[in-house]
């Protein structure tokens, strides 16, 4: 992970896990690349064994979004730590691991939809894996879905806490500029998730949920950026 944070209470769960691996020291770019190669390799193996090559475009897009999400998480966290953001804000952002809770809720909602609500003529799982989905294919599908849900949960928590931070504190121009870059990374990752929309266009509930999520994330992060620059001051904010 490059230069890991001094304490794991000042990092995402993802960073803590990767940073704790013995003998492993990867930059955020390399970590994201390794993640992509492993998942994409698994996807191609499943496609070759099951003959479900039609699932590769959707699977690859989801894997790319998740890998870029990992990179974005690292960049957002590094920008916030480098900007010496208030300690109360950093504790709120990283300490409670709320992004994991949000990810679990999103993942459970998605699985519930896929296996109980999505019972039309051609459910999404059937479109991707066929009438009799292979066990390895289902395993990989759920793993990629969890990866996406975790990144989505992280993006949401970064957006919400950024809005609270921008509403609560005033920052000098240099610090406001550094924090605005972190918000920009959050905003960009939210917009990247629109790449998934074409693959769920035939699933109105999923498409509406995804579009609503992105719109809400853009609005919340946009308000944070607006307040960040509106409230900037010449007084240095204490890091306590």
74 lies in some domain: yes
Give me the pLDDT at residue 117, please: 80
3 lies in some domain: no
57 lies in some domain: yes
Boundaries of domain holding 203: 8-230
181-238 tens-digit pLDDT = 999 999 999 999 999 999 988 888 899 999 999 999 999 999 999 999 887 654 444 4
Give me the pLDDT at residue 123, please: 82
- Number of domains, the chain: 1
240 lies in some domain: no
Long-range CB pairs of 53-62 (<8 Å, 24+ gap) are 54/127, 54/128, 55/128, 55/129, 55/137, 57/199, 58/128, 58/199, 59/128, 59/140, 59/141, 59/144, 61/195, 61/196, 61/199, 62/144, 62/145, 62/148, 62/196, 62/199
Q: Give me the mean pLDDT over the 80-92 stretch.
A: 91
1 lies in some domain: no
User: What's the token pair of residue 113?
Assistant: 């939809």
84 or 165, greater pLDDT: 165
Q: 138-158 b/e with 16+ CB inside 10 Å = b?
A: eebbeebbbbbbbbbbbbbbb
Window from 8-12, 34-38, 123-127, 173-177 with minimum mean pLDDT: 8-12
136-148 tens-digit pLDDT = 999 999 999 999 9
177 lies in some domain: yes
Q: What is the secondary structure of 115-137 as a DSSP string?
A: III--SSS-HHHHHH-SS--HHH
82 lies in some domain: yes
235 lies in some domain: no
Q: Can you give the pTM of this predicted structure?
A: 0.86
């Amino acid at each position: 992970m490059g230069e890991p944070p001094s304490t794991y209470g000042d990092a995402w769960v993802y960073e803590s896990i990767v940073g704790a691996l013995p003998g492993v020291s990867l930059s955020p770019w390399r970590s994201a690349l390794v993640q992509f190669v492993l998942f994409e390799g698994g996807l191609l193996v499943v496609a070759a064994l099951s003959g479900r090559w039609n699932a590769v475009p959707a699977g690859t897009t989801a894997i790319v979004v998740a890998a870029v999400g990992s990179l974005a998480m690292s960049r957002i966290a590094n920008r916030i730590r480098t900007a010496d953001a208030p300690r109360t804000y950093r504790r709120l952002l990283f300490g409670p691991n709320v992004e994991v809770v949000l990810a679990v809720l999103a993942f459970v909602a998605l699985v519930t939809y896929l296996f109980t609500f999505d019972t039309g003529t051609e459910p999404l799982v059937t479109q991707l894996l066929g009438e009799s989905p292979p066990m390895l294919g289902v395993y990989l599908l759920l793993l990629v879905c969890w990866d996406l849900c975790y990144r989505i949960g992280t993006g949401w928590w970064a957006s919400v806490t950024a809005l609270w931070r921008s509403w609560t504190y005033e920052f000098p121009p240099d610090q406001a500029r550094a924090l605005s870059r972190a918000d920009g990374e959050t905003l960009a990752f939210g917009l990247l998730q629109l790449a998934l929309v074409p693959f769920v266009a035939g699933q109105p509930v999923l498409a509406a949920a995804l579009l609503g999520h992105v719109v809400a994330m853009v609005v919340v992060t946009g308000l944070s950026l607006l307040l960040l620059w509106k409230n900037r001051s010449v007084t240095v904010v204490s890091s306590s």
